[in-house]
Amino acid sequence: MLKLFTITAALMLTFLLLSTAFAVSKKQPAKIKPDTSKVQVKIFNAQAIAKFKADKDFKYNGNSPDRISVWEVFWNWLWNAISNFFNRIPFGGTIVKYFFLALAAALLIFVIFKSLGIDAIRILRGEAQKINVPYSESLENIHEINFDDEIEKAAAQHNYRLAVRLQYLKCLKQLSDNNLIHWQIDKTNAAYLYELKDPEQKHIFGLLTRQFEYAWYGNFLIDKQAFTSINELFQNFKNRLP
């Protein structure tokens, strides 16, 4: 068995050596071709080189800033002072780094909010945006109006709607002065009507309220004749007050 293995191995080795030798013997020697292409020699522009050589920016050996302005001196001093101060504190450099990063972030957020018109302080406080609603006929203090003059003026200008309104406000003032109603800006006419206790006063004031509401909220047209009738009703009511 060992003999057979030895013979087989010897045969295989012989075959391998013979095949390699045969392959090597068949290979042709390499031929080197001469390079015959034309080479164009490029020459640097002498003028350009001279210009670059003359430029001080390209002179690297031993160059230092010629002059430092006072402003630069100040900033150098400031940064050195800050740097020295923080270097004395443990982790001072890290604090400075994060401080300026936070400052830059805050500045960026501020610029974005400003450009978008957002009020950051209001948002932080959790408040909604306040808008002033225009209201031309904001309530006057009825205790400060000279009603007789104003009513006369409105009637003279044929503004009977306004005259009825002023008559009604005058009526409310009279009721308030007589402590029959408690004047408050948020109360409606129905609330004042409810406050009146005397049935007769209540009835006439109810009629006056209707006239006022038709004229003022209903935008009904009032002529001189209608105004005279309403005026009489107001005078009648005034006479019944204590």
Binding flag, residue 75, other proteins (CB under 8 A): no
Binding segment toward other proteins, per CB under 8 A, in 2-10, 92-100, 162-170, 175-183: 162-170
Interface pick for other proteins out of 187, 195, 196, 202 (rule CB under 8 A): 187
Can you tell me which of 135, 141, 144, 146 binds other proteins, judged by CB under 8 A? 135
Count, residues near other proteins per rule CB under 8 A: 34
* 42 contributes a contact to other proteins by CB under 8 A: no
Most distant CA pair in the chain, distance: 153
- Select the span of 4-12, 43-51, 102-110, 180-188 touching other proteins (CB under 8 A): 180-188
- Asked if 220 interacts with other proteins (CB under 8 A), we say yes
Q: Residue 22 or residue 135: which is nearer to other proteins going by CB?
A: 135
Specify the residue, 180 or 208, whose C-beta has the smaller distance to other proteins: 208
Dihedral, 29, 30, 36, 38 alpha carbons, nearest 10: -160
Q: Least distance (Å) from other proteins to the CB of residue 86?
A: 44
Smallest distance from other proteins to CB 132, Å: 10
Among 1, 139, 199, 242, binds other proteins (CB under 8 A): 139
Q: Which residues bind other proteins (CB under 8 A)?
A: 127-128, 130-131, 133-135, 137-139, 165, 168-169, 185-190, 207, 210-211, 213-214, 216-220, 222, 226, 229-230, 233
